[in-house]
Amino acid sequence: MLIVRSPGWDVVKQRFFSREQFEKSFPDITSAFWLNVKIFLVAEVLILVLALGIAVVRSLPGPVFFPLRALTIVYVDLFRGVPAILVIIILGLGVPGLFANAEPDDLKVNPILWGSVGLVLLYSAYVAEVYRAGIESVHPSQSAAARSLGLTHGQTLRFVVIPQALRRVIPPLLNDFIGLQKDTALVGLLGVIEAFRQSQIEVAGAFNYTPYICTAILFILLTIPLARFTDWLVARDRRRQQAGRLV
């Protein structure tokens, strides 16, 4: 009510909520949005694998593994401390210069590749901490029982600790991937024609901001189901814990 009764609402409505401009720009933006989805799906798989490896290395006991643990700590601190937009720009504009005389050319200048690599490096640091929290939440008696049965440390992690940890961290993992889906728009800074970049092109051509609203709706339509699925998983886990206490 405050918005629609504001003095400038008619102007804002025309500039941001033009039905004609929405219908005109929606097909092109939707087509470009599939690139966001593809980057998200590929990056998600790589992040799950890389982050789990980082978390496992960081949980290795003993002084002999201290250099590896220190390396993972530096990695996590570095990529959690640098803004995502800077990582994307540095990788997308700087790394290709290292391959100035390399072949093939499409590898060294592929902005989709380097933008995706930046997202993988960034989110692997965050997801690794989620994994580590799940691993540390498993009671030490579980590991002790597995070792007493003759399992090695690696087998204990694989068959006992990690399966329990994964079940506990699924909701926060999904929250991180909701953020990943939105941050795929940062790849557009490298010139990739994804949804946000396409909306900028539409805005520049029509001098109307409705394409931004169109892009926002597409991200919302993808994000809300993931958020509700996360809520369902949290509720299910809570019911299981309550049932366990009753038993």
Overall domain count for the chain? 1
pLDDT in tens, the chain (247 residues): 888 888 888 888 899 999 999 999 999 999 999 999 999 999 999 999 999 999 999 888 888 888 999 999 999 999 999 999 999 999 888 877 777 666 655 555 688 888 999 999 999 999 999 999 988 888 888 888 888 888 887 888 888 888 888 888 888 888 888 899 999 999 998 888 999 999 999 999 889 999 999 999 999 998 888 888 888 877 887 787 777 666 5
- Residue 4 in domain: no
Q: What is the extent of the structural domain holding 71?
A: 9-246
- Residue 74 in domain: yes
- Residue 19 in domain: yes
* CA-based nearest residue to 227, from 168, 164, 186, 176: 176
Structure tokens at 75: 């990695």
- Residue 163 in domain: yes
CB 193 within 8 A of CB 32: yes
In the chain, the largest separation of any two C-alpha atoms, in whole Å, equals 75
- Residue 2 in domain: no
Q: pTM for the full model?
A: 0.86
pLDDT given for residue 125 in this prediction: 94
Task: Give the CATH number for residue 127.
Answer: 1.10.3720.10
pLDDT digits (tens, 9 = 90+) for 63-116: 888 899 999 999 999 999 999 999 999 988 887 777 766 665 555 568 888 899
Helix (H, G, I), strand (E, B) or coil at 62: coil
Cα–Cα distance, 35 to 110 (Å, whole number): 14
Tell the burial category of 97 from Cβ atoms under 10 Å away from its Cβ (0-12, 13-18, 19+).
Answer: exposed
- Residue 228 in domain: yes
DSSP alpha helix (H) spans, the chain = 9-16, 19-58, 66-81, 84-94, 105-108, 111-137, 140-148, 153-156, 162-183, 195-206, 210-246
Torsion angles phi and psi, residue 128, rounded to 5: -60, -40
Torsion angles phi and psi, residue 2, rounded to 5: -65, -40
- Residue 115 in domain: yes
pLDDT given for residue 245 in this prediction: 64
